[in-house]
Amino acid sequence: MRWTLAVTGRFLKRRFVESALRDPGELTTKLDTQGRPMHWPQINRLYDNSLRSYKLRRLDCRGVLFRADRSEDCPAATVDYSLGWADLFSKGLEIIQVTGDHFTMMREHPHDQNLAREMCDALDRHCTKPQRASESPKIAVS
């Protein structure tokens, strides 16, 4: 009971100081559009507004998901191999499993090279007409 009262008291004190004394709170490393550091209460309001107003919508295109092969990166009991992306692409989702975990697949050898190779292959498969350097458009010189 004392702990609950203490936590509630600290919260009410902080809210009073923020509103009555116009104390904006601690600065963060996040910058606003003018390059100035933002305060935590402002960031919390932005996050809350974003969560309330954001609605997922289906895209009229294909998607490609590069998925790490480590099962411990997916803590759910039933594994969704699409990681929640399956219903967001009307023309389908291609799932490509790559070696490494969420971070090592981009940062460590040989996982980074495997990822790069898979990305190149996916782009080659999905580009309508890959343009080679020898096929670049000619520029008329006058």
With tokens 């890959």, the residue in question is 130
Q: What pLDDT tens digit does each residue of the chain (142 aa) get?
A: 888 888 898 888 877 766 665 666 677 888 888 998 888 888 888 888 998 998 889 999 999 999 988 766 556 666 788 888 989 999 999 999 999 988 899 999 999 999 999 999 999 988 866 555 555 555 544 4
Contacts of 127 (CB under 8 A, 6+ apart): none
Domain spans, the chain: 22-55, 63-126
Contact 89, 100 (CB under 8 A): no
Rounded Cα distance, 120 and 90, in Å: 23
Rounded Cα distance, 93 and 64, in Å: 6
Q: What angle do CA 124, 128, 132 make, to 5 degrees?
A: 60
